[in-house]
Every structure is written in C-alpha cells, then in structure tokens.
Chain A
Amino acid sequence: MAQLQQDKEKLNLAPKKFNMWIFLFTSFMFFMALTSGFIVYTGAGKGHELNFKIPDIFIASTAVIILSSGTMYMASKAAKGLQFAKQRMFLLLTIALGIAFFALQVYGWYIMAIKMQIYFANPNASRSFVYVFTGMHLLHIFAGLVLLLNNLRKSNGKTPQVKNLYSMEMSSLFWHFVDIVWIYLYVFLLLNQH
C-alpha cells in the first residue's frame, strides 16, 4: 500500500520538478540575453567599454553565495536522512547567507554609486548594465529566499516527508542555479572590465 502511494506521488511530482527545470531554462535565457546585449552594446562603438575596476566587495559576495550552496546541500542531505533539526539549522544558515549576499550586493552598489561615482543613469550604458545584471539577479535571490522560507515552514517534521523532500529539491535546484548564474555574471564582468 505504502509502495503504491509512493508511486502515485512520483507520478504527480515528476512533471512538476520538470517544470522547475524548464523555468530555470527561461531564466538562463534571460541572463544570456542581457549579457549578449552587453556584448552588442560594447562592440558597437568606442567609449562603450566598462573601463573601471569591479569593486572587490563582489569577491566577498561570491564567496558567501558559494558557501550558501554548500549549506543548502547539507540541508538537503539532512532532509533525506530524516534529520529535521539539522535540516532546519542548515536552512537557516542558507537563508542567513542569502540575506548577507543581498546586503553585500547592495553595498557594492553603494560603493559604485557613491564612492566611484558610477551611476545607473549613465551615458555609457555598459556601466548601467552592471546594475541591471546585479539587480535582476537579486530579484532571483529574493525569489529563492521565499522558497527557502517555505521549506523552513515544511521542515517541522509534521509535513509528510515526500512533500518536504519535494519542496527541498525544488528550492535547492533553484538556489544552486542562482548561485551559478551569479558566478557566470561575475566572471563575465571581470573579463569585460577593461
């Protein structure tokens, strides 16, 4: 009987997990479009290069988000092993790191705008692109945090394990993806900063 229920559940959830994969694809295309736009823009004329050094604070934020992928992995592992206390702890850690990342990015904007006087509304739009990349990525981080909070709610040990695992899988997919997107964007910016 239990076996049968498991099967049914799988039947329903597999396509939904697949939906998440496809959604990640759309998101991927979105960032590819933005970076391609950057390439077309900078290629179009002289004086369209970034020509400034990307603030070092982004190294810190990169480290933080990579770390958060690690804690997310640990949380998933704990959830699979039915260790709910551990799962909650790692989830909380991931959320904290996510918020820290958010703060660091905003601090990065502060450095760019106030310290370096590189504004969003800029005659050299490649510099505006830096804000667009980070801003659009932060929107994803925000969505990821919402998913993680939802997980936290479900990790109380009372929610059926299938549901708990399912939503853990969904959000860790998303979280790792958002992590990878940031690394991509950061490397992209580093390669184009001069």
Chain B
Amino acid sequence: MSTLAVHDHHGVEHHDHDHEHHHNETFISKYIFSMDHKMIAKQFLITGITMAVIAMILSILFRIQLAYPDKSFPFLETLLGKNFAPGGRLDSNFYLSLVTIHGTIMVFFVLTAGLSGTFSNLLIPFQVGARDMASPFMNMLSYWLFFTASVIMLSSFLLQTQPAGPGWTIYPPLSALPKAMPGSGMGMTLWLISMVLFVASSLMGGINYVSTVLNMRTKGMDLWKMPLTIWAFFLTAILGILAFPVLVAGVVLLIFDRSFGTSFYLSDIVVQGQVMNFEGGSPILFQHLFWFLGHPEVYIVIMPAMGLVSEVMAVNSRKPIFGYHAMVYSLIGITVLSFIVWGHHMFVTGMNPFLGGVFMITTLIIAVPSAVKTFNWLATLWRGNIRFTPAMLFSIGFVSFFISGGITGIFLGNATLDINLHDTYFVVAHFHLVMGSAAIFGMLAGVYHWFPKMYGRLMDEKLGYLHFWLTFIGAYLVFFPMHFMGLDGVPRRYYSFTEIESLKQWVSVNTFITWAAIMAALAQVAFLFNFFYSIFKGKHATQNPWGSNTLEWTTPVERIHGNWPGEIPTVYRWPYDYSKPGHDEDFIPQTVPFSQTMSSNLPHDFEDSPVGDQEWVNTSKSNEHVK
C-alpha cells in the first residue's frame, strides 16, 4: 500500500523509470495533456509564436491605416468584413480594438507567457538538475489555462461588436462602462475573462518556477553556481507572484463597477447625454493598481531575455560572463526597485509634485542596475573569441535595442520632460525598442540557441542571418522615427492625423514606417519556415553543439522523460569556465570536478564554495609556485 503511495513520482533509479512510463504514455498524455516540462515548454513556444504572428498581422493592419488614412483597400473589407472595415477603410473603433489586442497579446501572451513559459519550463529543470518541475500537474494546468485564455482573447474578433478597445492598460471609464464605445462592451468582458485565466496561469507557472529553483537543485548546485538564466527566471517569477495579484484586485473592482453598479473608479459620468448615477469614484485608483503590476510587468518581460542573452553571450564569446555577481545583484536590484517606480506612468494625473519627485528619483535609480548589466554584456564581448551564430547576433541586437530604448527611458523618467512627452509617439518608440524589440530579440536568441535541446536538430544558419539582419534593420527603421514624431507632439492611439493641420506633415513618415514594418513582418517568414522546417528536416544536433558548460547539454539528445537516464549529475563549478587558462579545451562543463582540472585551478575558484574541494586549493597553489 505504502509503496503505491510513494511511487507516483519519478523514481530516482533508472529502472523504475522506464518501467513506469512506457506503459501509459498515450498520444494524449505525451503531446496534449503532457506533464513533462520539455513538452510543456514547446507547447508554450508554439502557442506563443502563433499569438505573435497574429498580433503582428494586427499591427500591419493598423499601420496601413496610419500610412494611408484616406485610401480605401477593398481587400480589407473582404478580409475583415463590413463590420470592421466598411468600404475598405478600417472602422475607427476597430482601429482602437486592433491597438488594444495587439498590445495585450504582445505584452502578456507573447512576452510573458511565451517567453517565461517556454524558457523557464525548458531550462529550470535542465539547468538546476531536476527531473521535472515541483508540481508537473500544476505546470500542465498552467499551460491549458494559458491556451484557454488565448482562445478567449482571439474569440473576441468573432463578436458582432468590437473586441476590447480601451488600450492594453484598460483605463476606466472606457473599460468600466459597457456602453462607452463599441470596444467597451462584450469585447471588454471577454478581455477580462481571458486575463483572469491568464493571471491564474502565470501564477501557477511562477509558483512552480520558484519552488523548483529553491527546492530541487542537484547536488553541488548552490545558488552561486546557477547560470544567470536561472537567476533571471527565478526573480522574474517572484516579480510575477508579487505583482499579478494586485492586477487581479484592480480587475475585481473593475468588474464590480462594470456589472454591479459600484463606483470605485467612476464619477460624474455622462453617457450619450444621460447622467449616470456613478459618484465619487477615482479613475486614478485604477491606474495605481494597474501600474503597480504594470511596471514590474515590463521587467517580467525583459528579465528572462536578459538571462537568455547573458548565457548565449558567454557561450559564444567563449569567455566567462563579465561580473557574474554584479549581474545577479543587478537583477535583484531591478526586482526590488521595480515595485517603487510605478508612478512614472502617472506624472500627468495631477499627482502631488513631491510624490512625482520621489517617483522620478526611484526611476532614475533603476537605470543604474540596468546600465551595470549593459556594461557587463559589452565587457563580455570585449576581446572575446566571438562566434557569430544567429543566437549570438540576436543577443547583440538585444543589447543594442536595450541601450537605445533605455536611454529614452531616462528622458521619460524626468517628470518635467514627461509632461511633454507623455502619450506621444516618443513613449511608443521607447517601449517598442526596450521592450518590443529587445525582449523579442532575447526570445529569438533563446529559440535559435536551445532549438537543438527542444527538437534534437539545428536551425539553418543562413536563414537565421537573413532573419536577423532584416528584423534588426526593420525594427530600427520602424521605431526610430517615432522619437521625432513624439518630440513634435504627435499623440499615440489616434486613428488618423489628417484632421489636424500641424500633424499632417507626419503622414509621409508614417508611410515610410509602414513599409519598413511590412518588410520586417515579411522577414519573419524566414524564421517561421526555418523553425517548422527544422523541426522535421533540420540537421541532427550533437549532444553539446555549442560547447556549453551548463547541465542541459549533459542530457541525451533524445529528450527522455526524467531528463537523465542515470543519476542526476553533480555540479562542481560555476557555469562560466570558458577559455580557462591552462585547460586544454575552451570550456569546462559544470559536471567536471576540480580534481580533473588540476592544470587550470585557481584559488579564486573556491571562494564561493567553502566546503569540499579544499584539498585542490592547496594543490593548485603549489602548482602556481612551481611555475
């Protein structure tokens, strides 16, 4: 009896293992309701890519409107129907819906779930040396909630009325009054339902990630031997756990306002000449609750990308990551600080100037750890033995975008400047570079780099280069001109600028941006083809194709359940021993004990591990003396 009770999990021994899992693995349990972290990672990735393609197409649709505000395109009516594009021109309300759903999908479904969901699931058990997540069942639930949320979000395009339209930040009153505009009705309701499921999914995922990192590391894997990817995923998960419940609180109150007649956010409302009986509410309250999540959310998006990029850069520069400890402390600094800067999204809400000053200072302080990380990446590249794989190029692209987008963040963080720049295209430029482009590049770097680990095959390099250069150039062409529009005061989320005399001149720039966007979008075809083709027909990968030190490359190429056929390997060293002087190869995997690398040991190697291996310190010291 008791044997039964203990055996419902992977055994520690190889034998139990095969024995247990061969019988009851059906198609459904393997590919659909899988509880294996690798399969769940792939499910997240493919769903994320699908959502990204959809959101990208939405953006092209509204870019067409911005470029040619007065032209009609009959194919739009065929494509979208009379309701959304009457006479071949986008309906102005539908324009708002497109912007809203584009933003929501990109921020939450692609860059939160698609990014964390894929790589935390794939790499946490692999890189800390665990057979699976703390709770594989919750992990599966997390994916299926995400999937359901995605379906509900997309189903709002099937409505007679519009999908949600108040912007991805769903500020009331537009989001709180179902009658306010077409995008406030049923579409908004579906948005809220979808996001509640999404938050549940994120929390389940996050709880699992934290718990796995803290409890299931293999022998020898102390915190200071974890790759930066793991640090990043771990801290990202903590951010999510602390921030998402606050969004739920905000949304709960919003739902009461929408459907139960309360006035948390509503006051003095007149709809179509009719005075509504909402009194005393405060729309600013929603903004506080939203941005308390919203700002950490942008770091939830960027930190996993930072982790992936750090790893890819060290591997492909054949150098230890520069300033490993500083990298970790910066991540921790960002995590903590990101909770006290939300007010910088609200400088123009009439907040007390003193409070604005406080938020300004905290905002400028958070730029410091971000800058530390940037310098460390550059220093890692410096005089490295660089291998320009597609993953490496995307990582370098990440750093480029992070710098150019981060600098404008510092502009916006100054309240005096932000009062002018708020809600203009300058903000759009800022966050599309630092979040849109940088985080997507980090994600793509991850896909190219860990593709062999997911599918046992390699992606094509040539197509990778094509994809990189077109996307890199395209993204700059799209987002850089937006700075100048913003400086000139062009407001965001406007349907067209032809009605406003002073803004008419920007239509030509908008046309240019739209064509650049179409080019960048077409470049993604190279990626999609490469990705799906390589799954089936790519070159077979070797066990450790990049010469990496981390644990995932010690698992067999055929990704087995439980990850390692025998015992889980023990870890002896940090993950960044690349090109270590005195060693015959330019990498030393984490599983190689110091006793086998006498020629390259340094006293410094033992600083983080006070116990064990002491004897090798002395030997290595005496080695030095001999030399």
Task: Give A contacts to B, CB under 8 Å.
Answer: 2, 5, 8-9, 12, 14-16, 18-19, 22-23, 25-27, 29-30, 32-34, 36-37, 40-41, 44-45, 47-48, 120-125, 128-129, 132, 136, 160, 162-163
Contact = CB atoms under 8 A, between A and B. Distances in A.
Given A19-B211, A40-B284, 17 more contacts: A2-B2, A12-B6, A15-B214, A19-B135, A26-B241, A26-B244, A33-B289, A34-B252, A37-B253, A37-B264, A37-B289, A41-B264, A41-B282, A45-B282, A121-B261, A122-B262, A123-B278
Nearest to A14: B215
Contacts of B135: 15-16, 19
B242 interface: yes
B9 A22 contact: no
Given A30-B249, A125-B262, A160-B1, A18 B285 contact: no
B207 A22 contact: yes
B103 interface: no
B90 interface: no
B436 interface: no
B241 A5 contact: no
B280 A30 contact: no
Interface in B175-189: none
B245 interface: yes
B110 interface: no
Interface residues on B, range: 35 or more
Given A23-B207, A33-B245, A121 B6 contact: no
16 contacts: A5-B3, A5-B6, A12-B9, A18-B134, A18-B210, A19-B138, A26-B242, A26-B244, A27-B245, A34-B249, A40-B288, A120-B256, A120-B261, A122-B262, A132-B256, A136-B252
Contacts, number: 129
Secondary structure class of chain B's binding surface, majority of residues: helix
Contacts of B215: 14-15, 18
B88 interface: no
B611 interface: no
Given A33-B245, A125-B264, A128-B262, A40 B282 contact: yes
Interface in B1-27: 1-3, 5-6, 9, 11-12
B253 A122 contact: no
A32 B248 CA distance: 12
A44 B282 contact: yes
Contacts of A136: 252
A162 B5 contact: yes
B203 A26 contact: yes
B214 A29 contact: no
A112 B277 CA distance: 21
* The 8 nearest A-B residue pairs measured at CB: A15-B134, A121-B261, A123-B279, A33-B249, A30-B245, A33-B246, A29-B245, A15-B215
Contacts of B320: none
B292 interface: yes
B211 A15 contact: yes
Contacts of A40: 282, 284-285, 288
Interface string B429-460: 00000000000000000000000000000000
B262 A37 contact: no
Contact of A121 (B3, B211, B252, B260): B260
A45 B267 CA distance: 12
B208 A121 contact: no
B289 A29 contact: no
Nearest to B247: A33
B5 A160 contact: yes
* Most chain B beta-carbon neighbours within 10 Å: one of A27, A125, A162: A125
A58 B11 CA distance: 50
A107 B241 CA distance: 34
Contacts of A45: 280, 282
Interface in B232-274: 241-246, 248-250, 252-253, 256, 260-264
B249 A128 contact: no
Contacts of B289: 33, 37
A128 B264 CA distance: 8
B6 A15 contact: no
B2 A160 contact: yes
Contacts of B193: none
A191 to B, nearest CB: 20
Contacts of B519: none
Contact of A30 (B3, B248, B264): B248
B281 interface: yes
B363 interface: no
B620 interface: no
A18 B134 CA distance: 9
B252 A25 contact: no
B280 A124 contact: yes
Contacts of B466: none
Contacts of B5: 9, 160, 162-163
Interface in B488-539: none
Given A18-B214, A121-B260, A136-B252, A26 B134 contact: no
Contacts of A129: 264
Nearest to A26: B245
B371 interface: no
A6 to B, nearest CB: 8
A9 to B, nearest CB: 5
Nearest to B280: A123
B216 to A, nearest CB: 6
Contact of A128 (B6, B211, B263): B263
A132 B252 contact: yes
